[in-house]
Amino acid sequence: MNRKNSSAIIKIPKFFKDKLKNKKIAQIYKKFEKSLNINENFIVAVSGGPDSLALAFLSKVYSIKNKVVSKFFIIDHKLRKDSTHEAKTVKKLLSKYSIKADILTWVGKKPSKNLQSIARNKRYELLFQQCDRLKIRNLLLGHHQEDLFENFFIRMLRGSGLKGLVSLDKKTKIENKYLIRPLLNHKKDNLTYISKKVFDFYVQDPSNDNNKFLRIKIRKLLRELQKNGLDEKKFSNTIKNLKYSNSVVDYYVNENLKKNSFFSQNTNKLILNKNFFQQPHEIIFRAMSESLKLIGKKYYSVRGKKLDKIIQDVGNIQSFRATLGGCIIQKVNQTVIISKEHQNI
């Protein structure tokens, strides 16, 4: 521990100091501190589940020790009749321990299909709004090791490529913001332990037992695989190796964007030259996806099938005009121009 942290720990409130005397909690915090390793203000997303409550405790201690501002937000999706009561209960609980949290509410009609995906996007939208309002670029999320494994299988069943299989990273940049997952190498059991020992409470989400959600089916499959010898360490190494391969592809995607595209600040248009589309398909696909996110001001990539169709049209049709991801895509001779929808070409 450096001198700064050694002197700052004296100022940690008694409640937190007492909890850190627990050997297991202290070990988990040490691992968390090393993983987070930032010296900037941050926002923490809290749901009330054991992993997010553990994140609230660990990140609060971190902010005190490192003298940075931490802001906590609870999302009330209003998808269940008890959600507002649960959010208020979590807020009240955290306030007892000097963790001030505000509730962000998803207002409006809820979808009947693709609910979890849409709810996730809405959650990020609400949190990003707070990042912009507070001028804080770091958002801490409670994803843990089991989430990493579940995400891998979900993406595999959906036919994702390399990037999708390894999409949960410790740190992801979206425009000028960073999604940080400091618990990604922590097991859920350890996070549940912290929630019980620190708060003696956490919310049980009934959707965790609902087999209509793919994530729950995958979670149960993983439990069976673990009973039959799934080696978590080897699985982690497999994902790590795939991430190395993914970083190589990302390098060539960035090279393609750098050498074969031009952004006009005056017109807010991105111009792609002929060489942009003379790369391997995966390089073109990712570079196009990033281009659409840039111009369309979107947080997430467009649907793969629709983007594939656009790329095919670029190669097969002399000139065309299409819309995708909030953008207008127009091919003129050998050049493709991308502009924001409702903006004149």
**pLDDT tens column, 262-309:** 999 888 899 999 999 999 999 999 999 999 988 988 777 777 788 999
In a domain, 345, yes or no: no
* Residue carrying structure tokens 């990020």: 124
Tell me how many domains the chain contains.
2
In a domain, 172, yes or no: yes
Long-range pairs, 36-40, Cβ under 8 A, ≥24: 36/62, 36/140, 36/180, 36/182, 38/68, 38/138, 38/180, 39/66, 39/68, 40/68, 40/136, 40/137, 40/138
pTM, 2 dp: 0.80
Query: d(Cα 100, Cα 94) in Å, to the nearest integer?
Result: 7
Looking at the fold, whether 303 and 199 belong to one and the same domain comes out as no
Farthest-apart Cα atoms in the chain, separation:
71
Looking at the fold, whether 194 and 331 belong to one and the same domain comes out as no
Domain housing 205? 3-230
pLDDT at 100: 96
pLDDT at 343 > cutoff 70: no
pLDDT at 1 > cutoff 70: no
Task: Tell me which residue of 182, 200, 272 sits closest to 15, measured CA to CA.
Answer: 200
CATH code of 209's domain = 3.40.50.620
Q: In the listed set 170, 203, 230, which residue is the last one of a domain according to the structure?
A: 230
DSSP, res 331: E
Looking at the fold, whether 310 and 173 belong to one and the same domain comes out as no
CATH code of 247's domain = 3.30.465
Q: In the listed set 230, 250, 282, which residue is the last one of a domain according to the structure?
A: 230
**pLDDT tens column, 135-179:** 999 999 999 998 888 889 888 887 788 888 888 889 988 878 999
Quick count: other Cβ atoms within 10 Å of Cβ 18? Answer: 11
Looking at the fold, whether 175 and 316 belong to one and the same domain comes out as no
Task: Tell me which residue of 145, 136, 130, 134 sits closest to 32, measured CA to CA.
Answer: 145
In a domain, 235, yes or no: no
**pLDDT tens column, 105-135:** 998 888 777 777 788 888 999 999 999 999 9
Task: Tell me which residue of 196, 193, 166 sits closest to 181, measured CA to CA.
Answer: 166
